[in-house]
Structure 1
Amino acid sequence: MKDFLKNLGPGILVSAAFIGPGTVTVCSLAGVHFGYSLLWALLISVIACIILQEMSARLGLITGKSLSENIRQELKPPVIRNTVLILIFSAIVIGNAAYEAGNITGAVLGMEAITGSLNIVIGDFSLNFWSLIIGLFAFLLLWLGTYKKIEKAFIALVFLMSISFIVTAFLTRPKLSEVLEGFIPQQFNAGLFTIIALVGTTVVPYNLFLHASLVSEKWNGRKNLPILRKELVFSIILGGLVSMAILICAAAADVQGIENAADLAVGLEPLFGSLAKYFLALGLLAAGITSAITAPLAAAFVVKGCLGWKGGFASGRFKSVWIIVLMLGIIFSGIGLKPVQIINFAQISNGLVLPIVAFFLFWIVNRRSLMGEDKNTLFQNILGVAVIALAFFLGLKSVWNVIQNW
């Protein structure tokens, strides 16, 4: 157990990345509107996430390179290579810059559920104080921390988040029989877009880049493959349990008028006492902080791989990318700006890039010249094809949804 805990890291950071404010909000709304009936969708998303993230992590371990570096190296035709890299670059970097405001705002909502709002007013200009504090915390952790320090901080934050949400779920006292029924697929048409959102918040394109990069930073050589898989499965399942706990909280509370997770945190107080409110608020705070750190980090890894930069965490160019993404998030969150057009572009790009990245990941991990004996098995290929088909469906649906609401 001691050795296992010592090896926790890349998978935990991936879980931290997909359990952000968006996931908390989507799971809350799913629970409020559909009760426990969509727990099966979360279960499918966790399985799909494990399949894709295992391929990404294995690629990083065997090659010692990130996913974007491998795509750049393995795609020989310049036109195809450059087109794919530009799409990846725009979707991940611009998308993460837009979503970073949501990550910081989610952490702010967690703080405000406990302490109340706190704004700095200068004339007609108002700036959220908590956005600055949370942004500064993320900046210091990324600037001063080596990979090992960041890893330890994330393990602490993820366990705080997990305990907060799971304890809150128990405090709401859900009926076990109804919870178990939720894992049997029954709800399809009424919650179609909610199902897409639940799967889409778990299977995240930038995590495929982040995971391969983090694994190549932590481990070297195929001898670490067994511990990599154990750590991955444990971490993704833990993240899935957190998502399920949030949905269960929302379903059991039976609170009306919920628009986001902060409303749920406040709404739980009169029903279940202040403890439920504080646990949920702490979980939302931790979820926002972890995603606020991983999004800029993933963007920096993608740029590094796409442009062929050398160096890692200490590189000036690497730092400049995550600083820009983080600063944009702080500014957008602090002044309350909602960059709708940028976010719409990011949603379309991510909807397109997930199946494309999943396809190229699948192609690369089947190359014996690159992966050797660790290329995909027949069983892994069957699972991979199923997940890629799901990714294409989700991508088309998410793009169509944005176009309809443009």
Structure 2
Amino acid sequence: MGKSLEEVHQSVATQNKKSVFKKILAFFGPAYLISVGYMDPGNWATDIAGGSQFGYSLLWVLLMSNMMALLLQSLSARLGIVTQRDLAQASRETYSPFINYILYFLAEIAIAACDLAEVLGMAIGINLLFGISLIEGVLITVLDTFLLLFLINKGIRKMEAFIIALVTVIGISFIFEMIFAQPEMDKVVLGLIPSMPTDTALYIAIGIIGATVMPHNLYLHSSLVQTRNFDRTKVGIKQALKYNFIDSAIALNLAFFVNAAILILAAATFFKSGMHEVAEIQDAHRFLQPLLGTQWAPVLFAVALIAAGQSSTVTGTLAGQIVMEGYLNLRIQPWVRRIITRLIAIVPAVIVISIFGEEVTGELLIFSQVVLSLQLGFAIIPLIHFVSDKQKMNGFHIGKATQIVSWIIATIIVSLNAKLVFDEIKGWLEASENPIVLWLTVVPLAFGFLILLLYIVFKPFITKTRNAFQNHSPHNLKLHFSKAASYAKKNIAVSVDFSSADEIALNSAFELGGKEANYTLIHVVETVGAMVYGEHIDDHETLVDEKLLKEYQQILSEKGFKVAVQLGFGKPDKIIPKIVNEIQFDVLVMGTHGHTGFKDLIFGTTVDKLRHKISIPLLIVKNSD
């Protein structure tokens, strides 16, 4: 199992910091990338609608939602810190392949839906600020894919600084909006006291809560916390958990401020003026100047919207990478992953806007939130199960009180989102001219999701869980070797990567040397930590790879072969030649997956770089898979 966000995994040092402040600062960052998901354009519409219709009275809903989000994000961070797994990897190692494929499919759709809302929000902001059409604005958002690639190559700290700068822009914009709007502070305080004016207010409250916790944030947070390199002792893990909780508390409270500011702005302008029907982002922008008497109000509103969309798309695309690699264990070139993730969101937006016009953006935003609602339970429930498991969490599992509160929050969020989905499907059935199609497609699909959700909820309670997260090696160490034929080579090196290519490579090596030769199995750990710390790295992947290498050695020794092992650290095209050139081998045998041309661009290539750096024959064995 590869490392989550491998390019930046454990790339931020937190050790050897002289002061407590510097140590805390070293952990700060991941939660700010998470916080943008709580102030993305998908949340703006519900905040505007709540403020314009009911004034300040629903502020308490935002506060309650923020507290729910803080708990769930802290659980996500705990999973990543303790197990060194992101949520997608943990799911892959827990559920059957069939269930995992469904969970991956749902997660990918949810991230695309979330990305759709963010792309639309940014495009609307560009449209409002510069007058550029929505289609062109959507296409412009493709460029931030390359911005993300540039930022992550500069290191996670640079990316965090960029996101924090955008969050600062949003915050400053709304500070000025508050100054312009001059809200009634006594009513703001009263709004923090729970109340529900009407049944319509309940529906808006459901929308606010439903748009709060984004499933992609749970995948993302469990991965981003792994960018910190800290002492893996119990004391070190406890310290990491504490500092990440502080990070989450500060960042999510900033997100609460932004959401509250949007609702307060709508209350102080539209509700106060009797304009209770303002719900669209474009309408809110259009009415701000005449109501507040300054041209800067709509400008700052659009700037904040662009910043929210830009920051959210960056983190959403990162989440797409995490989900693909975690569930499928599929490693492809970073730029390809990000282009795919972005196109999944942009193509539907361009098609729908081209066919139905720019006025459908509001419906598209609502549709994206419904899709998100469908997937939310499939992220929250496994997360609670994982962090409650004493064995999987190595003693860092959550206590009974936290478990109870977590399940209450999960029940509230899933129930409210289920109601939102039910109401939406009911509306489609009533409005459809041919409802039989929906009864044969959408309704069975919804029931299928419900059954899957119930399976995920109750399976751990009725089935004994595994003792720990297991490594899913493609071959499961069940190798089948052909009989040796010739015995010309006496000292043979074989490169192994714990994939299906190993079997044919080893068979080919045995045909060259038989049982008389000496074999050395070479495997290279490719994590960022391995590149930085070399043989001194002590992370989970190194331990797993070392264990697998020794199991290979044991299996082959039992079959009568003389086998030694060599574990390298860094880039294979550099480390393998170094090992080979230091030892007197007769030949190096490597297995490949047989991809060339365009696939080399996607998956990368080691053989071409390596063969020019060694002075012995290289036997390349093509895997037919």
Q: Hey, what's the Cα distance between the residues in 1 that align with 2:312 and 2:414?
A: 25
Q: Distance in 2 between matches of 1:270 and 1:5?
A: 43
Structure 1 residue 381 displacement after superposition: 1.5
Determine the C-alpha separation between the residues in 1 that align with 2:145 and 2:400.
44
Kindly indicate whether the alpha-carbon contact (under 8 Å) linking 2:120 and 2:361 is maintained by their aligned counterparts in 1. Answer: no
Provide the C-alpha distance between the structure 2 equivalents of 1:263 and 1:284, rounded to a whole number of angstroms: 14
Alignment-derived partner of residue 129 in structure 2: 114
**How many angstroms apart in 1 are the aligned matches of 2:321 and 2:408?**
30
State the partner residue of 1:25: 45
TM-fit CA distance, 1:3: 5.5
Which residue is 2:341 aligned to?
325
Q: Matches of 2:266 and 2:344 in 1, distance apart? A: 31
Compute the displacement of 1:342 (Å): 9.4
Q: Contact 2:387–2:393 at 8 Å: present in 1 too?
A: yes
**Bigger CA drift: 351-360 or 189-198?**
351-360
Structure 1 pair 397/285, CA: closer, same or farther in 2 (3 Å)? same
Distance 1:86 1:31 in 2: 41
Partner of 1:141: 147
Shift of 1:250: 0.5
The one-letter code sitting in structure 1 at the alignment partner of 2:313 is A
Correspondence for 2:619: none
- TM-aligned CA deviation for residue 398 of structure 1: 2.0
Show CA shifts across 1:367-403 (max 9, x none): 1212123210233123212211112212321220221
Q: How far apart, CA to CA, are the structure 1 residues paired with 2:38 and 2:173?
A: 17
1:224 paired with 2:224, answer: no
Q: Secondary structure of the residue that 2:244 maps to in structure 1?
A: helix
What is the distance in 2 between the residues matched to 1:275 and 1:346? 30
- What's the CA shift for 1:346? 6.1
Aligned mate of 1:279, from 300, 311, 314: 300
Match for residue 212 of structure 1?
222
1:355 touches 1:392 (CA, 8 Å); kept in 2? yes
Residues 349 and 319 of structure 1, relative CA distance in 2, 3 Å threshold: same
Q: Match of 2:213, SS?
A: coil
Determine if contact 1:99/1:343 at 8 Å carries over to the other structure: no
Q: Which protein shows a greater Rg?
A: 2
How many Å separate the matches in 1 of 2:384 and 2:267? 37
Q: Is the 8 A contact 1:97 1:325 kept in 2?
A: yes
C-alpha distance after superposition, 1:193-222 (max 9, x if no partner): 211111121111121111101112334441
* 1:294 aligned onto 2:308: no
> 2:162 pairs with 153, 157, 177, which one?
153
Mapped partners of 1:290, 1:14: distance in 2: 10
Letter in 1 for 2:253: I
Letter in 1 for 2:179: F
Contact 1:90 1:349 in 2 (8 A): no
SS of 1:374's equivalent in the other structure is coil
- 1:248-277: CA deviations, max 9, x gaps? 000100253523223212211122211222
1:88 Cα offset (Å): 2.7
Q: Hey, what does 2:81 align to over in structure 1?
A: 61
Instruction: Name the structure 2 match of 1:366.
Output: 388
Deviates more, 1:278-287 or 1:371-380: 371-380
Amino acid at match of 1:196: I
Q: Separation in 2 of the partners of 1:134 and 1:156? A: 19
Contact map agreement 1:209 1:298 (CA 8 A) in 2: yes
CA distance in 2, matches of 1:344, 1:164: 25
Residue 131 (structure 1) aligned with residue 146 (structure 2): no
User: Which residue of the partner structure matches residue 109 of structure 2?
Assistant: 94
Q: Which amino acid aligns with 2:314?
A: I
Deviations 1:71-128 (A, max 9, x none): 22133xx2xx632x2343222212332442331221122233222x224xxxxxxx73
For the 8 Å contact 1:98–1:339, the answer to whether it is kept is no
Distance 2:361 2:320 in 1: 18
Alpha carbons 1:169, 1:246 under 8 Å: kept: no
Cα 1:190–1:174 shift into 2, 3 Å: same
**Aligned positions of 1:168-247 closer than 5 A:** 168-187=177-196, 189-220=199-230, 221=232, 222=237, 223-247=239-263
Q: Which residue of 2 aligns with 1:122?
A: none
Distance 2:44 2:189 in 1: 21
> Partners in 2 of 1:134 and 1:47 — Cα distance?
32
User: Residue 334 of structure 1: CA displacement?
Assistant: 4.8
Cα 1:271–1:342 shift into 2, 3 Å = closer
Partner Cα separation in structure 1 for residue 223 and residue 54 of structure 2: 37
Q: Which amino acid aligns with 1:214?
A: L
Q: In the superposition, relative to structure 1, how do residues 351 and 334 fare at CA in structure 2: closer, same or farther (>3 Å)?
A: closer
Q: Which amino acid aligns with 1:375?
A: H
RMSD of the TM alignment (CA)?
A: 2.5
Q: TM-score, normalised by structure 1?
A: 0.87
Q: How many residues are matched?
A: 387
The offset of 1:51, in angstroms, is: 0.6
Larger RCO, structure (CA 8 Å, separation 6 or more): 1
Relative to structure 1, is the Cα distance of residues 320 and 358 closer, same or farther in structure 2, using a 3 angstrom cutoff?
same
Residues of 2 paired with 1:339 and 1:159: CA distance?
Answer: 27
4+ long deviations beyond 3 Å: 1-7, 218-221, 328-335, 337-350
Aligned partners of 1:401 and 1:37: how far apart in 2? 24
For 1:45, which of 65, 71, 93 is the aligned residue?
65
Q: In 2, Cα distance between the equivalents of 1:154 and 1:91?
A: 27
Per the alignment, in what secondary structure is the counterpart of residue 192 of structure 2? coil
- Distance (whole Å) between structure 1 residues aligned to residue 393 and residue 120 of structure 2: 41
For residues 259 and 21 of structure 1, what CA distance do their matches in structure 2 show? 13
Provide structure 1 residue ranges, at least 5 long, that are not aligned to the other structure.
120-126
Aligned residue type for 2:298: K
1:389 lines up with 2:411 in the alignment: yes
Q: In 2, distance between residues paired with 1:86 and 1:339?
A: 31
2:290 aligned with 1:270: yes
Query: Partner of 2:171 in structure 1?
Result: 162
Q: Name the SS for the 2:200 alignment partner.
A: coil
Kept after mapping to 2: 8 A contact 1:60/1:216: yes
* Structure 1 residues 57 and 219: CA distance shift in structure 2, 3 A: farther
Q: 1:276 to 1:345 in 2, by over 3 A?
A: closer
Cα distance in 2 for residues equivalent to 1:387 and 1:343: 25
Overall identity of the aligned pairs, in %: 29
For residues 163 and 76 of structure 2, what CA distance do their matches in structure 1 show?
20
